[in-house]
Amino acid sequence: MGGFEGGDEGGYWDIDTLPASTNHVNTSKPDRRQSTIEKTDAGYSIKAHAKVNIFLKITGHENGYHTLLSRFMYVEDLYDTITFVPCECDTFTIEGCEGVPLETNTIYKAYKALNDHTGDLEILDFFYKHKVVVTKRIPSQAGLGGGSSDAAAFMRLVKEVCNLLISTEELAKLGSTIGADLPFFIYNYTSANVSGFGEIVEPFDEDPLSLELYTPQIGCDTTLVYKTFKEHLLNGISLASFIGWDQLDSKTLLERIADPIMLNDLYKAALIAYPELKNEAKEGWFFSGSGSTFFRLR
Protein backbone atom coordinates (compact mmCIF):
# COMPACT_ATOMS: atom_id res chain seq x y z
CA MET A 1 0.00 0.00 0.00
CA GLY A 2 1.22 3.54 -0.68
CA GLY A 3 2.17 5.59 2.33
CA PHE A 4 4.63 8.14 3.74
CA GLU A 5 7.39 6.84 6.01
CA GLY A 6 9.63 9.47 7.56
CA GLY A 7 9.81 12.40 9.97
CA ASP A 8 10.71 16.10 10.02
CA GLU A 9 13.94 15.50 8.12
CA GLY A 10 12.01 14.22 5.08
CA GLY A 11 10.53 10.90 4.19
CA TYR A 12 9.82 8.25 1.60
CA TRP A 13 6.69 7.57 -0.37
CA ASP A 14 6.38 3.84 -1.08
CA ILE A 15 4.14 3.91 -4.14
CA ASP A 16 2.49 0.62 -5.28
CA THR A 17 1.32 1.03 -8.84
CA LEU A 18 1.09 -1.01 -12.01
CA PRO A 19 4.27 -2.71 -13.34
CA ALA A 20 6.19 -0.78 -16.00
CA SER A 21 5.26 -1.31 -19.63
CA THR A 22 7.57 -3.27 -21.91
CA ASN A 23 6.73 -1.06 -24.92
CA HIS A 24 9.74 0.65 -26.38
CA VAL A 25 7.80 2.60 -29.00
CA ASN A 26 4.42 4.25 -28.59
CA THR A 27 2.16 2.28 -30.97
CA SER A 28 -1.38 1.71 -29.62
CA LYS A 29 -4.09 4.23 -28.73
CA PRO A 30 -3.63 6.65 -25.81
CA ASP A 31 -4.45 5.67 -22.27
CA ARG A 32 -6.92 8.26 -20.97
CA ARG A 33 -8.06 7.74 -17.38
CA GLN A 34 -11.73 8.25 -16.53
CA SER A 35 -12.09 11.25 -14.18
CA THR A 36 -12.42 9.74 -10.68
CA ILE A 37 -15.43 11.77 -9.58
CA GLU A 38 -17.39 10.40 -6.65
CA LYS A 39 -20.73 11.44 -5.14
CA THR A 40 -20.53 10.76 -1.42
CA ASP A 41 -22.59 11.82 1.62
CA ALA A 42 -20.06 14.65 2.06
CA GLY A 43 -20.58 15.90 -1.49
CA TYR A 44 -18.90 15.63 -4.91
CA SER A 45 -15.23 14.56 -4.73
CA ILE A 46 -12.29 14.27 -7.14
CA LYS A 47 -8.66 13.18 -6.78
CA ALA A 48 -5.92 15.67 -7.76
CA HIS A 49 -2.92 13.40 -8.47
CA ALA A 50 0.74 14.44 -8.25
CA LYS A 51 3.03 14.13 -11.28
CA VAL A 52 6.71 13.49 -11.85
CA ASN A 53 8.81 14.54 -14.82
CA ILE A 54 10.57 11.44 -16.16
CA PHE A 55 12.63 13.78 -18.32
CA LEU A 56 12.51 17.57 -18.84
CA LYS A 57 14.50 19.24 -21.60
CA ILE A 58 14.43 22.99 -22.22
CA THR A 59 14.13 23.75 -25.95
CA GLY A 60 14.11 27.57 -25.96
CA HIS A 61 12.80 30.78 -24.40
CA GLU A 62 10.22 33.33 -25.61
CA ASN A 63 7.87 35.92 -24.09
CA GLY A 64 9.31 35.35 -20.61
CA TYR A 65 8.66 31.59 -20.64
CA HIS A 66 10.83 28.58 -21.48
CA THR A 67 9.70 26.07 -24.05
CA LEU A 68 10.28 22.46 -23.10
CA LEU A 69 9.84 18.80 -23.99
CA SER A 70 8.98 16.63 -20.97
CA ARG A 71 7.44 13.24 -20.10
CA PHE A 72 4.86 13.77 -17.39
CA MET A 73 3.67 10.74 -15.43
CA TYR A 74 0.89 10.85 -12.85
CA VAL A 75 1.50 9.32 -9.43
CA GLU A 76 -1.26 6.83 -8.64
CA ASP A 77 -1.13 6.87 -4.85
CA LEU A 78 -0.19 10.50 -4.08
CA TYR A 79 -3.10 12.91 -4.49
CA ASP A 80 -5.00 15.75 -2.91
CA THR A 81 -8.78 15.40 -2.63
CA ILE A 82 -11.14 18.21 -3.65
CA THR A 83 -14.72 17.98 -2.32
CA PHE A 84 -17.71 20.29 -2.86
CA VAL A 85 -19.56 20.21 0.48
CA PRO A 86 -23.07 21.67 0.82
CA CYS A 87 -23.21 24.83 2.96
CA GLU A 88 -24.76 28.32 2.93
CA CYS A 89 -21.73 30.47 1.98
CA ASP A 90 -21.65 34.28 1.73
CA THR A 91 -18.65 34.04 -0.56
CA PHE A 92 -16.41 31.51 -2.36
CA THR A 93 -14.93 29.39 0.44
CA ILE A 94 -11.87 27.07 0.48
CA GLU A 95 -11.02 24.97 3.54
CA GLY A 96 -7.87 22.87 3.97
CA CYS A 97 -5.28 25.12 2.33
CA GLU A 98 -4.05 26.74 5.53
CA GLY A 99 -1.27 29.26 4.94
CA VAL A 100 -2.35 29.97 1.35
CA PRO A 101 -4.21 33.31 1.05
CA LEU A 102 -7.47 32.91 -0.95
CA GLU A 103 -6.42 35.36 -3.67
CA THR A 104 -3.24 33.38 -4.43
CA ASN A 105 -4.85 29.95 -4.26
CA THR A 106 -4.80 28.26 -7.67
CA ILE A 107 -8.29 26.88 -6.98
CA TYR A 108 -9.64 30.42 -6.51
CA LYS A 109 -7.85 31.54 -9.68
CA ALA A 110 -9.53 28.64 -11.52
CA TYR A 111 -12.93 29.63 -10.10
CA LYS A 112 -12.48 33.22 -11.31
CA ALA A 113 -11.23 32.10 -14.73
CA LEU A 114 -14.26 29.79 -15.19
CA ASN A 115 -16.66 32.52 -14.10
CA ASP A 116 -15.14 35.14 -16.39
CA HIS A 117 -15.01 32.68 -19.31
CA THR A 118 -18.48 31.19 -19.09
CA GLY A 119 -20.43 34.00 -17.39
CA ASP A 120 -22.53 31.07 -16.17
CA LEU A 121 -24.50 32.26 -13.14
CA GLU A 122 -25.00 28.61 -12.18
CA ILE A 123 -21.35 28.50 -11.06
CA LEU A 124 -21.82 31.60 -8.88
CA ASP A 125 -25.02 30.15 -7.43
CA PHE A 126 -23.43 26.74 -6.87
CA PHE A 127 -20.66 28.21 -4.70
CA TYR A 128 -23.13 30.08 -2.54
CA LYS A 129 -24.47 26.62 -1.72
CA HIS A 130 -21.18 24.66 -1.56
CA LYS A 131 -17.71 25.20 -0.08
CA VAL A 132 -14.50 23.67 -1.44
CA VAL A 133 -12.82 21.34 1.06
CA VAL A 134 -9.26 20.32 0.16
CA THR A 135 -7.40 17.41 1.74
CA LYS A 136 -3.76 18.27 1.03
CA ARG A 137 -1.23 15.42 0.78
CA ILE A 138 1.03 16.67 -2.04
CA PRO A 139 3.93 18.67 -0.59
CA SER A 140 4.30 22.26 -1.91
CA GLN A 141 7.34 23.50 -3.87
CA ALA A 142 8.18 19.85 -4.45
CA GLY A 143 8.15 19.56 -8.25
CA LEU A 144 5.00 17.40 -8.01
CA GLY A 145 2.49 19.88 -9.46
CA GLY A 146 0.34 20.11 -6.32
CA GLY A 147 -1.18 23.55 -6.78
CA SER A 148 -1.67 22.99 -10.51
CA SER A 149 -3.28 19.59 -10.03
CA ASP A 150 -5.71 21.01 -7.45
CA ALA A 151 -6.81 23.76 -9.83
CA ALA A 152 -7.21 21.37 -12.78
CA ALA A 153 -9.19 18.85 -10.72
CA PHE A 154 -11.39 21.70 -9.47
CA MET A 155 -12.09 22.77 -13.07
CA ARG A 156 -12.90 19.20 -14.14
CA LEU A 157 -15.27 18.77 -11.20
CA VAL A 158 -17.07 22.09 -11.88
CA LYS A 159 -17.44 21.13 -15.54
CA GLU A 160 -19.14 17.85 -14.54
CA VAL A 161 -21.24 19.09 -11.63
CA CYS A 162 -22.42 22.32 -13.30
CA ASN A 163 -22.78 20.63 -16.71
CA LEU A 164 -20.60 23.25 -18.42
CA LEU A 165 -20.64 23.14 -22.22
CA ILE A 166 -16.87 23.65 -22.41
CA SER A 167 -14.62 21.16 -24.22
CA THR A 168 -11.57 19.58 -22.59
CA GLU A 169 -9.43 21.51 -25.07
CA GLU A 170 -11.04 24.82 -24.06
CA LEU A 171 -10.69 23.92 -20.38
CA ALA A 172 -6.98 23.15 -20.90
CA LYS A 173 -6.48 26.47 -22.71
CA LEU A 174 -8.18 28.30 -19.84
CA GLY A 175 -6.09 26.30 -17.34
CA SER A 176 -2.86 27.29 -19.08
CA THR A 177 -3.57 30.92 -18.10
CA ILE A 178 -3.34 29.86 -14.43
CA GLY A 179 -0.22 27.64 -14.60
CA ALA A 180 1.93 25.87 -17.16
CA ASP A 181 1.29 22.43 -15.61
CA LEU A 182 -2.51 22.65 -15.69
CA PRO A 183 -3.09 21.35 -19.26
CA PHE A 184 -1.50 17.97 -18.38
CA PHE A 185 -3.81 17.62 -15.39
CA ILE A 186 -6.88 18.79 -17.31
CA TYR A 187 -6.37 16.15 -20.04
CA ASN A 188 -6.01 13.62 -17.24
CA TYR A 189 -3.66 11.21 -19.04
CA THR A 190 -1.58 8.66 -17.09
CA SER A 191 1.53 9.55 -19.10
CA ALA A 192 2.15 12.21 -21.78
CA ASN A 193 4.76 14.08 -23.78
CA VAL A 194 4.32 17.75 -22.91
CA SER A 195 5.79 20.57 -25.01
CA GLY A 196 5.40 24.23 -25.86
CA PHE A 197 5.18 26.10 -22.55
CA GLY A 198 3.26 23.10 -21.20
CA GLU A 199 0.10 23.56 -23.29
CA ILE A 200 0.82 20.84 -25.88
CA VAL A 201 -0.09 17.49 -24.28
CA GLU A 202 0.29 14.26 -26.29
CA PRO A 203 -0.72 11.00 -24.54
CA PHE A 204 1.93 8.28 -24.25
CA ASP A 205 0.59 4.75 -23.92
CA GLU A 206 2.35 3.02 -21.02
CA ASP A 207 1.42 1.76 -17.54
CA PRO A 208 2.33 4.02 -14.59
CA LEU A 209 5.70 3.10 -13.09
CA SER A 210 6.12 1.82 -9.55
CA LEU A 211 7.95 4.75 -7.95
CA GLU A 212 9.45 5.70 -4.63
CA LEU A 213 9.40 9.47 -3.91
CA TYR A 214 11.64 11.39 -1.52
CA THR A 215 10.90 15.04 -0.77
CA PRO A 216 13.57 16.75 1.35
CA GLN A 217 12.65 19.66 3.64
CA ILE A 218 13.75 22.13 0.94
CA GLY A 219 11.07 24.12 -0.93
CA CYS A 220 12.07 24.93 -4.52
CA ASP A 221 10.46 28.08 -5.96
CA THR A 222 9.69 27.30 -9.62
CA THR A 223 10.15 30.91 -10.71
CA LEU A 224 13.62 31.11 -9.10
CA VAL A 225 14.73 27.78 -10.61
CA TYR A 226 13.69 28.88 -14.11
CA LYS A 227 15.32 32.31 -13.60
CA THR A 228 18.53 30.56 -12.55
CA PHE A 229 18.34 28.31 -15.62
CA LYS A 230 17.92 31.33 -17.92
CA GLU A 231 20.89 33.14 -16.39
CA HIS A 232 23.36 30.26 -16.22
CA LEU A 233 22.30 27.43 -18.55
CA LEU A 234 19.98 28.56 -21.38
CA ASN A 235 22.85 29.36 -23.75
CA GLY A 236 24.19 25.81 -23.36
CA ILE A 237 21.13 23.79 -24.47
CA SER A 238 21.61 21.19 -27.22
CA LEU A 239 18.45 20.14 -29.11
CA ALA A 240 20.30 17.21 -30.67
CA SER A 241 21.02 15.58 -27.31
CA PHE A 242 17.54 14.12 -26.74
CA ILE A 243 16.25 13.15 -30.18
CA GLY A 244 13.86 10.17 -29.91
CA TRP A 245 13.35 10.33 -26.14
CA ASP A 246 9.66 11.12 -26.64
CA GLN A 247 9.22 7.74 -28.39
CA LEU A 248 10.83 5.64 -25.66
CA ASP A 249 8.83 4.33 -22.70
CA SER A 250 9.69 5.86 -19.32
CA LYS A 251 11.27 2.76 -17.76
CA THR A 252 13.65 2.41 -20.73
CA LEU A 253 14.54 6.12 -20.51
CA LEU A 254 15.39 5.93 -16.79
CA GLU A 255 17.40 2.73 -17.24
CA ARG A 256 19.25 3.78 -20.42
CA ILE A 257 19.93 7.49 -19.83
CA ALA A 258 20.24 6.97 -16.05
CA ASP A 259 21.88 10.39 -15.40
CA PRO A 260 19.50 12.70 -13.42
CA ILE A 261 21.34 15.85 -14.60
CA MET A 262 20.96 14.81 -18.27
CA LEU A 263 17.32 13.75 -17.82
CA ASN A 264 16.15 16.99 -16.17
CA ASP A 265 17.62 20.33 -17.32
CA LEU A 266 16.15 22.09 -14.26
CA TYR A 267 18.09 19.90 -11.82
CA LYS A 268 21.40 21.75 -12.36
CA ALA A 269 19.56 25.09 -12.00
CA ALA A 270 17.95 23.89 -8.75
CA LEU A 271 21.40 22.86 -7.43
CA ILE A 272 22.71 26.37 -8.19
CA ALA A 273 19.69 28.05 -6.57
CA TYR A 274 19.58 25.62 -3.59
CA PRO A 275 23.14 24.26 -3.03
CA GLU A 276 21.91 22.32 0.05
CA LEU A 277 20.07 20.02 -2.37
CA LYS A 278 23.44 18.40 -3.13
CA ASN A 279 23.41 16.76 0.33
CA GLU A 280 20.08 15.11 -0.54
CA ALA A 281 21.10 13.64 -3.90
CA LYS A 282 21.41 9.84 -3.81
CA GLU A 283 22.77 7.35 -6.33
CA GLY A 284 20.00 5.97 -8.59
CA TRP A 285 17.47 8.73 -7.79
CA PHE A 286 16.02 11.19 -10.35
CA PHE A 287 14.76 14.76 -9.94
CA SER A 288 11.19 15.89 -10.69
CA GLY A 289 10.31 19.25 -12.28
CA SER A 290 11.79 22.28 -10.52
CA GLY A 291 12.19 20.18 -7.36
CA SER A 292 12.78 19.33 -4.64
CA THR A 293 11.38 15.78 -4.96
CA PHE A 294 13.65 12.87 -5.96
CA PHE A 295 12.17 9.64 -7.29
CA ARG A 296 13.38 6.21 -8.35
CA LEU A 297 12.02 2.96 -9.73
CA ARG A 298 11.05 0.57 -6.93
Ligand X SMILES: Nc1ncnc2c1ncn2[C@@H]1O[C@H](COP(=O)(O)OP(=O)(O)OP(=O)(O)O)[C@@H](O)[C@H]1O
Annotated binding site for ATP: 139-149
Q: Which does 68 bind (CB under 5 to 8 A by kind): ligand CDM, ligand X, none?
A: ligand CDM
Q: Does residue number 175 form part of the binding site for ligand X (CB under 6 A)?
A: no
Give the C-alpha separation, 109 to 102, whole Å: 9
Give me the least distance between CB of 225 and ligand X, in Å please.
9
Residues 6 or more apart whose Cβ sits within 8 Å of residue 159: 166, 171
181 catalytically annotated: yes
57 catalytically annotated: no
Give me the least distance between CB of 98 and ligand X, in Å please.
10
Q: Does residue number 179 form part of the binding site for ligand CDM (CB under 6 A)?
A: yes
Runs of H (alpha helix) within the chain:
106-118, 121-129, 146-161, 168-175, 182-187, 222-232, 250-256, 260-263, 265-273
- CA angle, 67 as apex, 63 and 73 as ends, to 5°? 140
Of residues 210-269, those binding ligand CDM (CB under 6 A): 222-223, 226
Give the C-alpha separation, 261 to 284, whole Å: 12
Return the number of the residue (144 or 158) whose C-beta is nearest ligand X.
144
Residue from 107, 201, 273, 277 in contact with ligand X (CB under 6 A): 107
Least Cα distance to 43 among 127, 118, 101, 123 occurs for 127
List the catalytic residue out of 47, 51, 57, 131.
Answer: 51
Residue from 148, 188, 215, 252 in contact with ligand X (CB under 6 A): 148
Cite the active site residues. 51, 181
